[in-house]
Amino acid sequence: AQTVTQSQPEMSVQEAETVTLSCTYDTSESNYYLFWYKQPPSRQMILVIRQEAYKQQNATENRFSVNFQKAAKSFSLKISDSQLGDTAMYFCAFGRYQLTFGKGTKLSVIP
């Protein structure tokens, strides 16, 4: 079975600081994609960043970057210069077309 573990149910960070959200997963597949989605209080699911498993280079999107360790099946998200609008639930997910999601990390950015 494919599983995703997000070991930090809740985290907080001061505005302008950096925070890292952890994610580990388990799969026997070799070709898959990994994602971080953000769910603010509006409950809309918003794509934050995507990584192809066959690429060694870590993906970066503005203030968001990942540390992808394929052998360790680890896919952490780093948020730099945290902003109040980053307050949300963050979900790690992976798969090909059937995505498997973790239970989420609730991130609060403190002014």
Residues of this chain that interact with other proteins (CB under 8 A) are 4, 31-33, 35, 37, 42-47, 50, 52, 91, 93, 95-104
> Which CB atom, from 79 or from 91, has the smaller least distance to other proteins?
91
- CB of residue 16 vs other proteins: minimum separation in angstroms? 29
Contact 77, 21 (CB under 8 A): yes
> Which CB atom, from 39 or from 74, has the smaller least distance to other proteins?
39
> Which CB atom, from 75 or from 91, has the smaller least distance to other proteins?
91
- CB of residue 39 vs other proteins: minimum separation in angstroms? 9
- CB of residue 43 vs other proteins: minimum separation in angstroms? 6
CA-to-CA separations, 47 to 11, 30, 37, 76, in angstroms, rounded: 20, 23, 5, 15
Q: Tell me how far apart the alpha carbons of residues 99 and 53 are, in angstroms, rounded to a whole number.
A: 14
- CB of residue 75 vs other proteins: minimum separation in angstroms? 14
> Which CB atom, from 35 or from 111, has the smaller least distance to other proteins?
35
Q: Tell me how far apart the alpha carbons of residues 64 and 18 are, in angstroms, rounded to a whole number.
A: 10
